Amino acid sequence: MQNVPELFGSMVFNDKVMKAHLPRDVYRSLKNTIQRGAPLDLDVANVVATCMKDWAVSKGATHFTHWFQPMTGVTAEKHDSFISPCGDGGVIMDFSGKELVKGEPDASSFPSGGLRATFEARGYTAWDPTSYAFIKDDTLCIPTAFCSYTGQVLDKKTPLLRSMEALSRQAVRVLALFGKKACRVTATIGPEQEYFLINKQDYACRPDLILTGRTLVGAPAPKGQEMEDHYFGSLRPRVKVFMADLDEELWKLGILAKTEHNEVAPCQHEMAPIFATANIATDANQLTMEVMKKVADRHGFACLLHEKPFEGVNGSGKHNNWSMSTEKGENLLDPGSTPAENTQFLLFLTAVIKAVDDFQDLLRISVASAGNDHRLGANEAPPAIVSVYVGDELQAVIDCLIEGTPCRPNAPTVLDTGAVVLPNLPRDTSDRNRTSPFAFTGNKFEFRMPGSSFNIACTNVMLNTAVADALAQYADELEGSADFQKDLLTLIRRELAAHQRILFNGNGYGEEWPVEAARRGLCNFRTTPEALVHYTDEKNVALFARHGIYTREEIASRQEILLDEYGKAIRIEALTLLDLVRQQIAPACIKYANGLAAGVSAKKALGIEAPAEAALTGKVSALTGEMLAAADSLDACVAAMPQDVTELARYCADKVLPAMAAVRTPADKLEQTVDRTLWPLPTYSDMLFYV
């Protein structure tokens, strides 16, 4: 491999490149825009565009695109070449400031949830200078926000940027209370990405994987993950080569790929990057998913990012590590070692606890999808109930604070001078409760509910905004306080007491937890439709309005898009399953039974009894009949789908998914019965234990 520091970011128009290529005043002006959001004038944009183009062309680029993140959750791009006729029959490579700053991709076919009709569909993309441009497949990609002609948000990036602003605004106010002059506080994110790799040939033979991302039939392999021999196990040589190639591709794009390892399920792996600002981490994660798929293909693999590709083995998630940091690099969730900083830490910690408690529903909504519903609460990922894990040590401090008692000597102590003393929390002792959806891990929180295929923007919009809201309330209350230390402690005590119910350090997989959670009044939305209806609850609309993130219409449109997406995903699954069963599985079963029956008759004619074959014929015929009857019911169920998106989503959860399960049960029994050479699909053993 090439020298890594040299390779790293070689396809990115980053600060180093800008500094080297831009005239000094232009560079300064652009930096001002990046760091302080100052508007960029067109002259500057023109110079930046020309520089960017020259740099991109020198790296082999021929096209540019405004790269954006519509509500589909995947990224979108429309390529334009740099060519411009120059009068003598030839062309020059040209790129203007106007083209850099604003695009008009039209893009009327993206979901807008009723925000725009196609006749007034013009959508605009606007350059986001806080995320670097990069080259991918000979195309200069310019990260952009996407909105409608009337300025309504149509993408995932715009609200994320707004929520980061809101968080910064309020956190800066709170820091000022502690005498700190911060200009900016940024949400920092490290998303750990899980995925499966299977052989491309197997993937190509599974229409369910191709069309829906998950296997809709498939009997369990004789071996699953029970031996726990895959987790952190040594890598298959082919996978190792894939990971090295993946790292190299990600590094070129300036993505801080750091850790690669095998996960719990067979064929399951994880990549964790070093954290970055929420905006950059989100863009990088979107790119990571795309690059993973491309690199996998080069190595004869298919990369599966669905939350539940295989029944009976763990699905994939994406752990969203989250914290806040000042421009000087102070991590606000780091417990620190001096008393003053500790009260500051405690206040930020309290704000996060309050935020998660007040907006549990929004966090659940941010991870709601047809795919993720298979994981949450299935004893492999956190339950659908949102709670916060702080670990025993921090819990002891919180308990003492609430009770107003000094802590035991060996535990962190509260002094009666009013100053809270926390010893330096030994990092990494608190975590390791893998069942918690939202765990404090020493100097950050890890939100473990997002699904592996998700765009993490939505989750972080919810988190940033909810924490901003809590901080705003605290700043309102404490600004102008006559006795800050005293009022601060009173507030922390009161707030921790008020939000105790969200703290849970026990086993999130235990049967008692949902009962206990219900007693505490916590939300438990087991399915996506149950969760999504709460998006437009008054308190949520008010939250987003207060911080200028979404209007009521924008929330309603998001709710509609997500409900619609859920219904469509399940409809596609149902139709795919029907095709599979009727066109591939049933014919194979019938062929097998016919062969058996012919053998039984032939033996009978010779006077040979064949009770085993006869019984087997009967079994296969009966199961085939059961499967086809269930398919007919599923067909009828699909035909009766309601139109309204809310009703449809509920109907899918309550009626269609059980109807699909009724088809799968006999199909999987048949797979375990029918001649292996006749079975039309690669099995779980084939896919998960390839050599």
Cα(457)–Cα(476) distance, integer angstroms: 28
Q: 565: helix, coil or strand? A: helix
Find the shortest distance in angstroms from Cβ 167 to ligand ADP: 13
CB closer to ligand ADP out of 274 and 515: 274
Cβ atoms 432, 508 nearer than 8 A: no
CB closer to ligand ADP out of 263 and 565: 263
Type and span of the H or E element at 176: helix 157-177
Strands 63-67 and 139-148: parallel
Cα(135)–Cα(311) distance, integer angstroms: 38
DSSP state, residue 87: S
Find the shortest distance in angstroms from Cβ 322 to ligand ADP: 6
Choices 28-36, 187-195, 489-497, 594-602; region in contact with ligand ADP by CB under 6 A: 187-195
Unique residue bearing structure tokens 């009723």? 114
Give the footprint of ligand ADP on residues 430-449 (CB under 6 A). 431, 441, 443-444
Choices 108-116, 118-126, 188-196, 229-237; region in contact with ligand ADP by CB under 6 A: 188-196
Strands 438-440 and 388-389: parallel
Find the shortest distance in angstroms from Cβ 140 to ligand ADP: 28
Using CB positions, name the residue nearest to ligand ADP.
190
Find the shortest distance in angstroms from Cβ 443 to ligand ADP: 6
Find the shortest distance in angstroms from Cβ 321 to ligand ADP: 3
Find the shortest distance in angstroms from Cβ 618 to ligand ADP: 54
Cα(415)–Cα(421) distance, integer angstroms: 7
CB closer to ligand ADP out of 260 and 431: 431
Binding residue (CB under 6 A) for ligand ADP from 75, 131, 316, 321 = 321
CB closer to ligand ADP out of 202 and 270: 270
Q: 685: helix, coil or strand? A: helix
Give the footprint of ligand ADP on residues 275-294 (CB under 6 A). 275
Half-sphere exposure of 452 (CA within 13 A, CB side): 30
Residue 568 tokens, joined: 């469509």
Find the shortest distance in angstroms from Cβ 427 to ligand ADP: 9
Choices 184-192, 403-411, 456-464, 656-664; region in contact with ligand ADP by CB under 6 A: 184-192
CA angle 438, 325, 407 (to 5 degrees): 60
Residue 520: how many other CB atoms lie within 10 Å: 14
Q: How far apart are the first and last CA of the chain?
A: 26
331 binds ligand ADP (CB under 6 A): yes
Find the shortest distance in angstroms from Cβ 402 to ligand ADP: 27
CB closer to ligand ADP out of 373 and 393: 393
Binding residue (CB under 6 A) for ligand ADP from 158, 186, 188, 326 = 188
CB closer to ligand ADP out of 80 and 330: 330
**Rounded to an integer, what is the distance from CA 476 to the centroid of its chain?**
33
Give the footprint of ligand ADP on residues 393-432 (CB under 6 A). 431
Cβ atoms 431, 391 nearer than 8 A: yes
CB closer to ligand ADP out of 323 and 527: 323
Residue 609 tokens, joined: 């009894």
Find the shortest distance in angstroms from Cβ 614 to ligand ADP: 58
Choices 2-10, 186-194, 654-662, 682-690; region in contact with ligand ADP by CB under 6 A: 186-194
Find the shortest distance in angstroms from Cβ 431 to ligand ADP: 5
CB closer to ligand ADP out of 215 and 288: 288
CB closer to ligand ADP out of 98 and 261: 261
CB closer to ligand ADP out of 161 and 217: 161
Find the shortest distance in angstroms from Cβ 188 to ligand ADP: 4
Q: 237: Cβ–Cβ under 8 A, 6 or more apart, which residues?
A: none
CB closer to ligand ADP out of 285 and 465: 285
Give the footprint of ligand ADP on residues 249-278 (CB under 6 A). 272-275
CB closer to ligand ADP out of 441 and 559: 441
Find the shortest distance in angstroms from Cβ 647 to ligand ADP: 40
Binding residue (CB under 6 A) for ligand ADP from 192, 311, 358, 554 = 192
Choices 202-210, 303-311, 318-326, 656-664; region in contact with ligand ADP by CB under 6 A: 318-326
Unique residue bearing structure tokens 């087991």? 526
Find the shortest distance in angstroms from Cβ 392 to ligand ADP: 16
Residue 502 tokens, joined: 């969200």
- Provide the H-helix boundaries in 388-502: 391-403, 457-478, 484-498
Number of residues that bind ligand ADP (CB under 6 A): 16
Cα(126)–Cα(105) distance, integer angstroms: 11
Cβ atoms 193, 288 nearer than 8 A: yes
Find the shortest distance in angstroms from Cβ 253 to ligand ADP: 17
Type and span of the H or E element at 512: helix 512-520
Cα(255)–Cα(239) distance, integer angstroms: 20
Unique residue bearing structure tokens 């954006």? 68
CB closer to ligand ADP out of 267 and 456: 456
Cα(399)–Cα(377) distance, integer angstroms: 28
Choices 68-76, 189-197, 452-460, 487-495; region in contact with ligand ADP by CB under 6 A: 189-197
Choices 159-167, 320-328, 557-565, 631-639; region in contact with ligand ADP by CB under 6 A: 320-328
**Rounded to an integer, what is the distance from CA 248 to the centroid of its chain?**
23
Q: 490: helix, coil or strand? A: helix
CB closer to ligand ADP out of 144 and 435: 435
- Amino acid residing at 516: E
Q: How many residues does the chain have?
A: 691
Cα(547)–Cα(526) distance, integer angstroms: 29
> Distances from the Cα of 329 to the Cαs of 184, 186, 505, 630, in angstroms?
10, 9, 30, 59
Choices 119-127, 182-190, 384-392, 418-426; region in contact with ligand ADP by CB under 6 A: 182-190
CB closer to ligand ADP out of 280 and 670: 280
Unique residue bearing structure tokens 């996998």? 296
Q: Where are the beta strands (DSSP E) in 562-660?
A: none
Residues that bind ligand ADP (CB under 6 A): 188-190, 192, 272-275, 321-323, 331, 431, 441, 443-444
